[in-house]
Amino acid sequence: MARSGRRRGRSIVTTTDTPGATSTPEQAHIPDTRRLAAEADPATAPEVQPEDATLYERLGGCYGIAGAVDILVDRLFQNVKVNANDMVHKHHGNPANAAGYKWLVTSWSIEAAGGPRCYIGHDMDTAHEHLAIDTAGFDAVSKEIEATLDFVGVPDQELREFMEIIESYRSKVVQA
């Protein structure tokens, strides 16, 4: 999760130094995808953030959050404990739901982390009221969120802040 995703595509180097003299991507005018990948890696995010950086910015903005949700939703759709609830499985067991669900969870997370307003889905009560989610179901999802943030390298502070937001929705989501 790097900082602003918007700049990432501009990082292709356009130096005209001695083409062919070396095989580095910069000099050969080849987009350096290794560098792009590194920028998408939260481990390479700047050590020092502006003091007033929002959690959204510190998570890497749209690219960082969408990247994490992409992995998270794949894991949720396969998680045995999450899918133990038949009503949840009715949704999560259908791969055709993955793309739309990724969009909704990404945009919800962007807003929840203090980013721009972009979420078009239901509020958390309404979204889950027909699912009879119990404490065990919530804990299973919460564990997957934490594991995924850790997996993609979100630093401890940001991970804690995001998990506090998730926890604050427990009473809205758990309705069984």
Residues at the interface with ligand HEM (CB under 6 A):
82, 85, 88, 91-92, 104-105, 108, 121-122, 127-128, 131, 133, 137-138, 141, 166, 169, 173
- Smallest distance from the beta carbon of 98 to ligand HEM, in angstroms? 11
- Smallest distance from the beta carbon of 117 to ligand HEM, in angstroms? 14
Residue number closest to ligand HEM, CB atom:
121
The residue type of 123 is D
- Give whichever of 54 and 171 is closer to ligand HEM, judged by the CB atom: 171
> Is 122 marked as a binding-site residue?
no
- Give whichever of 63 and 138 is closer to ligand HEM, judged by the CB atom: 138
- Known binding-site positions for heme: 128
